[in-house]
Amino acid sequence: MILVNEPLVSDEAKKYVNDALDTGWISSAGKYVDLFEKNFAQYLGVKYATTTTNGTTALHLAMEALGIGKDDEVIIPDLTIISCAYAALYVGAKPVLVDVDPLTGNLDPQKIEHAITPKTKAIMVVHLYGHPADMDPILEIARRHHLFVIEDAAEAHGAEYKGKKVGSFGDIACFSFYGNKIVTTGEGGMVVTNNESIFKRAKVIKDLAHSEGKRFFHKHIGYNFRMTNLQAALGVGNLEHIDEYIEKKLWMANLYTELLKDVVWIEIPQIQQYAKSVFWMFAILIKSNAPFSRDEFMRVLKEKGVDTRSYFYSLHTQPVLRKRFTYDDSAFPVSDDLSARGLYLPSGLAITEAQVREVGEKIHQML
Ligand SMILES: Cc1ncc(COP(=O)(O)O)c(C=O)c1O
């Protein structure tokens, strides 16, 4: 079976993990945590970064650090992982869902304003599958309505919008380093910002909210979202290779594009002129007039030894949200369409040329 994602762990990462083990620094104290935060902030061109246990806790921490709370509203794209909506729910806020752009699957700037109410506090932008969202109009709307911008760049390490790395645009940005991400720490996350007071709040809240100058004395609720030195050691070692990893993703995307360009029933991802996509995953769409469904396509490919994943379910269809809120089901035609037709092909960093060619061949065979 060609797996949808096989991670790559660099030799340096293995060496640093062993060093952390050998020296006994296995919890969240230890040099690799600071180093990973410093190196990642430097890579992105942001001032501050703090690690977390995963991308979901990074999103939760972002909400807390921005002071978003009960009955506030957060605008979230309808086509993303549930973690984005959970982050709002965790702090008692309402995820207000907005349809997405048909070309990128990212938040559609033209549909944001009608969703803004006096309760709106933030717009969450997700750079889906490694392709940046169209940030300028979103930032302009946020400025005009005095809203925070939260970037979820979990899938877009190193992606650029107009030459600047994503994760450096919002008031705060969140990353995941899960095993399938470009830089992985196994499980892990990071919150980054250029705002010192947001950063300081995030640092305190993620570490049980000890009082300043008086540890183990607590005035507010905090969490334990601390990353271990072992995970950070992986992060430092893998981050050293990020340019090479992104090159590999681009090479893979080029090869898939070449192999699949004549397949009439498949839509290949398009890169917008403002974007450098990092092709975290090579995501394709089955055309709506194809004589087979996306699910049939995936099933047959699986029988032929190729694993794939479908796009996220639209958030407005998620029972956990529908139990709590009412959504107008007709308001998300693009998200519903992409969710029904989208899938991604094996795209992990460990993929070989032979495997990409085999996937291409099997798709040609079956069609
Ligand atoms: C866009 C996006 N945001 C957030 C997350 C959550 O990250 P994690 O799995 O590390 O909690 C993911 C998934 O990994 C994701 O794809």
Q: Where are the alpha helices (DSSP H) in 72-186?
A: 82-90, 135-144
From CA 220, how far away is CA 223, in angstroms rounded?
10
Model pLDDT, residue 149:
99
Q: 367: exposed, middle or buried (C-beta count within 10 Å: 0-12, 13-18, 19+)?
A: middle
Full-model pTM: 0.98
Mean of per-residue pLDDT scores for the chain = 97
User: Domains in the chain, please, with CATH?
Assistant: 11-98+105-239 (3.40.640.10), 242-366 (3.90.1150.10)
pLDDT in tens, 320-349: 999 999 999 999 999 999 999 999 999 999
Residue 214 Cα to ligand 1 midpoint, Å, equals: 34
Q: Is there an atom of ligand 1 within 6 Å of 178 CB? A: yes
**What mean pLDDT is predicted for residues 126-149?**
98
**What mean pLDDT is predicted for residues 240-255?**
98
From CA 5, how far away is CA 192, in angstroms rounded?
26
Model pLDDT, residue 367:
82
From CA 273, how far away is CA 163, in angstroms rounded?
11
| pLDDT grade for 124, boundaries at 50, 70 and 90 | very high
Model pLDDT, residue 294:
98
Q: Tell me the two tokens of residue 205.
A: 């809240």
Question: Coil, strand or helix: which one is 173?
Answer: strand
Q: How many Cβ atoms are within 10 Å of 37's Cβ, its own excluded?
A: 22
Residue 215 Cα to ligand 1 midpoint, Å, equals: 31
User: Is residue 184 within 8 Å of residue 238, measured between CB atoms?
Assistant: yes
Q: 349: exposed, middle or buried (C-beta count within 10 Å: 0-12, 13-18, 19+)?
A: buried
**Adjacent-strand bridge partners of 98:** 77
Q: Tell me the two tokens of residue 63.
A: 């909400």
Q: Which of 153, 180, 176 is nearest to 164 (CA)?
A: 153
Q: Is there an atom of ligand 1 within 6 Å of 64 CB? A: no
| pLDDT grade for 133, boundaries at 50, 70 and 90 | very high
Q: Cα–chain-centroid distance for residue 31? A: 26
| pLDDT grade for 366, boundaries at 50, 70 and 90 | confident
- Angle 178-260-333 from CA coordinates, rounded to 5°: 65
Position in ligand 1 atom list of the atom nearest CA 127: 1
From CA 24, how far away is CA 233, in angstroms rounded?
13
Residue 56 Cα to ligand 1 midpoint, Å, equals: 6
Question: Coil, strand or helix: which one is 265?
Answer: coil
Model pLDDT, residue 202:
98
User: Is residue 48 within 8 Å of residue 196, measured between CB atoms?
Assistant: yes
